Amino acid sequence: MKHLLSIFLISASLFSCSKQEGLQNAAPTQFQAEIKSAETGQILDVRTSDEYAKGHIEGAILADISSNLFQETTAKLDKNKTVFVYCLSGGRSSEAASQLQALGFKNIVNLSGGILAWQSANLPLSTNEGVSAPSTGMSLADFDKQIAGNKLVIVDYNATWCGPCKQLSPVLEAWVKEQKGKVELIKIDVDENPELAKAKHIESIPYLEFYKDGKLADKQIGMGEAKAMTEKWNQILL
């Protein structure tokens, strides 16, 4: 039985460019162009220090939104100059942009889709030493080995900071357990596997892929209503 690829969308298009007063959401290539044209040096990476160290946009300042560092850093910025902000997939940077607006910043540019979209567009990242970020995590060859076999294999792309991922995880794990060995679950932290996330074009999380006989059978982006999701998973398993 063939299954049409279905997508549970929970956010707006990651590659669109939209504006509201004082705030612009820009796709990766436009974000890069805006940085070059503005030359303000006010680029905020609102991820954690560990994420920042693994690879960040050249010239970005670490301003972890989950810590006091965000407030300390923004207090030193010029509110009349453009501020560029990004995170891994766009969630934290959207919150940061809202806070910047509330603080009185006049022009804010938010990277739609975050670093995941930036990498998918093959744009460069730097480490603290200013060189290309090293390859880390599972290789694509190892991934292909993991999804091979007769069982239904579900790949769960997630991150420790992702709220929807934490909501999805227990629902998914409980359903997999109910299948009594018919389903294999592989959990992949996109922060720990940046090269794989780039190769698989992961631009938003949570993101699920369903493989049968090593081939992609279906996928799901985002967190849906539990009953609707499990019903869909049951159909895929047939």
CATH number of the structural domain spanning residue 115: 3.40.250.10
Residues 97 and 187 in one domain: no
Q: Report d(CA 80, CA 82) in Å as an integer.
A: 7
**What is the pLDDT, as a whole number, of residue 148?**
86
Q: Is residue 129 part of a domain?
A: no
Report the predicted TM-score, pTM, of the whole model to 2 decimal places: 0.58
CA dihedral 10, 15, 20, 24 (to 10 degrees): 130
Does 10 fall in a domain? no
User: What confidence score (pLDDT) does residue 50 get?
Assistant: 85
Provide the pLDDT for residue 172: 94
162 classed as catalytic? yes
Residue-number span of the structural domain to which 168 is assigned: 140-237
Conformation bin of residue 201: beta by default, left when phi > 0, alpha when psi is -120 to 50: left
Active-site annotation holds for 87: no
Note whether 101 and 157 are same-domain residues: no
3-state secondary structure of 158: strand
CA distances from 223 to 95, 167, 168, 220 (A): 19, 8, 6, 8
Residues 53, 136 contacting (CB under 8 angstroms): no
Tell me which of 96, 117, 154, 165 is the catalytic residue: 165
Q: Do 145 and 114 share a domain, yes or no? A: no
Residue at a domain's end among 76, 92, 120? 120
CATH of the domain at 185: 3.40.30.10
Q: What pLDDT is stored for residue 21 in this prediction?
A: 62
Do the Cβ atoms of 174 and 230 come closer than 8 Å?
A: no
Q: Are residues 65 and 145 in the same domain?
A: no
Q: Which of residues 85, 120, 155 is at a domain's end? A: 120
Residue 81 and residue 147 in one domain: no
pLDDT at residue 85 in the model: 97
Please check whether residue 4 lies inside any domain of the structure. no
Residue 152 and residue 113 in one domain: no
Structural domains in the chain (count): 2
Q: What is the pLDDT of residue 192?
A: 82
Look at residue 99 and tell me if it is in a domain: yes
> Phi and psi of 202, rounded to 5°?
-80, 115
Is 66 in a helix, a strand, or coil?
A: coil
Low-confidence ranges of the chain (pLDDT < 70): 1-21, 128-136
Q: Which of 116, 162, 168, 197 is catalytic?
A: 162
Q: What is the pLDDT of residue 20?
A: 53
Statement to judge: residues 115 and 26 lie in one domain: yes
